[in-house]
């Protein structure tokens, strides 16, 4: 492993300070790069490669992190006297995030090092460009696009695989804000997924030019936008509520909602 590779995470780590989301994103990119993102994981039990090997556990503000160091020099400086293993940050991210564990870099360093929440490890594991950069600011959409909401509700009603639709306005730490549509499907067979994808394609033509729209599957237990939608966003289309509406009375879920549709904005993030 070259000196350049071993220092890339350390190099980007030096520039991370509160509010410097660009520097933090650079750190995530370094960790996501095979070989260049190698780190020294501290083992609380067992030896590297053994079945009983177990990472350390730090709890900070109620969240769990596995501690690591960024080089052999930092390992020596830390005074760690148990075993360790050298692994790619990408592999560690894939291991930790499903259990809601983050990663803490150089906890022995002045200032306490830098913690990476499990939501950002998920971004490393699944592709940094595929997920918005946190911390996210999530609210009810305040933008007036009743034609789009009416059209997507009509198309949703003609798509039997779809149970309901929710929405959120997502403002990433870096990048443009966008409208997220949450898709709740009865089942996820290829035919069902294709029918919902076609439904979205037929609907997005009513979106004003320049307004980004993204979709999320409401079955994704690790997506922060999904978690917010489940907790705060009521469906703006609900097939079962529509079916239960009295005969001769239009179902309210199929009406184009007013901006904010009666619910106070809820601010969230991670």
Residue pLDDT, tens place only, 84-123: 999 999 999 999 999 999 999 999 999 999 999 999 999 9
Instruction: Look at residue 168 and tell me whether its pLDDT is greater than 70.
Output: yes
In whole numbers, what is the pLDDT of the chain averaged over residues? 86
Please report the pLDDT score of residue 13 as a whole number: 94
Please report the pLDDT score of residue 260 as a whole number: 26
Instruction: Look at residue 262 and tell me whether its pLDDT is greater than 50.
Output: no
Please report the pLDDT score of residue 52 as a whole number: 87
CATH numeric code, 137-254: 3.30.70.1350
Instruction: Look at residue 141 and tell me whether its pLDDT is greater than 90.
Output: yes
Peptide bond just before 50 cis, omega within 30 deg: no
Residue pLDDT, tens place only, 75-90: 999 999 999 999 999 9
Which structure tokens are listed for 157? 């009603």
Please report the pLDDT score of residue 27 as a whole number: 95
Instruction: Look at residue 259 and tell me whether its pLDDT is greater than 80.
Output: no
Please report the pLDDT score of residue 268 as a whole number: 31
Q: In terms of pLDDT, which residue wins out, 27 or 258? A: 27
Which structure tokens are listed for 261? 């549709």
Kind and range of the H or E run holding 215: strand 213-217
To 10 degrees, what angle do helices 21-32 and 3-13 make?
A: 150
The DSSP bridge pattern shows strands 178-185 and 213-217 to be parallel
Please report the pLDDT score of residue 267 as a whole number: 30
Give the confidence band of 264 by pLDDT, cuts at 50, 70, 90: very low
Please report the pLDDT score of residue 246 as a whole number: 52
Residue pLDDT, tens place only, 46-76: 888 888 889 999 999 999 999 999 999 999 9
The model's pTM is 0.77
3-state secondary structure of 187: coil
| Nearest partner of 177 among 206, 142, 204, 218, judged by Cα | 142
Please report the pLDDT score of residue 244 as a whole number: 58
| Nearest partner of 57 among 112, 103, 97, judged by Cα | 103
Residue pLDDT, tens place only, 216-257: 999 998 899 999 999 999 999 999 886 655 544 444 333 333
Domain boundaries in the chain? 3-130, 137-254
CA distance 134 to 57: 23
Give the confidence band of 3 by pLDDT, cuts at 50, 70, 90: very low
């Amino acid at each position: 492993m070259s000196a350049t590779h071993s220092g890339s995470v350390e190099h980007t780590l030096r520039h991370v300070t509160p509010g410097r989301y660009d520097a933090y994103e650079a750190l995530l990119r370094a960790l996501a790069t095979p070989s260049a993102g190698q780190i020294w994981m501290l083992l609380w039990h067992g030896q590297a490669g053994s079945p009983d090997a177990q990472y350390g556990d730090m709890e900070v503000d109620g969240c769990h992190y596995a501690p690591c160091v960024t080089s052999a020099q930092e390992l020596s400086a830390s005074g760690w006297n148990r075993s360790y293993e050298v692994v790619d940050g990408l592999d560690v991210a894939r291991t930790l995030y499903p259990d809601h564990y983050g990663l803490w870099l150089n906890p022995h360093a002045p200032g306490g090092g830098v913690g990476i929440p499990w939501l950002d490890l998920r971004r490393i594991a699944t592709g940094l460009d595929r997920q918005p950069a946190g911390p996210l600011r999530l609210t009810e959409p305040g933008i007036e696009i009743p034609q789009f909401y009416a059209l997507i509700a009509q198309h949703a009603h003609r798509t039997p695989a779809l149970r309901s639709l929710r929405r959120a306005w997502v403002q990433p730490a870096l990048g443009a804000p966008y409208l997220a549509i949450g898709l709740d499907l009865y089942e996820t067979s290829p035919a069902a997924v294709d029918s919902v994808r076609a439904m979205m394609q037929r609907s997005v033509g009513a979106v004003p030019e320049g307004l980004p729209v993204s979709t999320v599957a409401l079955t994704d237990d690790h997506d922060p936008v999904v978690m917010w939608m489940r907790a705060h966003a009521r469906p703006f289309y609900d097939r079962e509520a529509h079916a239960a509406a009295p005969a001769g009375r239009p179902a309210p879920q199929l009406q184009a909602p007013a901006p904010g549709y009666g619910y106070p904005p809820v601010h969230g993030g991670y």
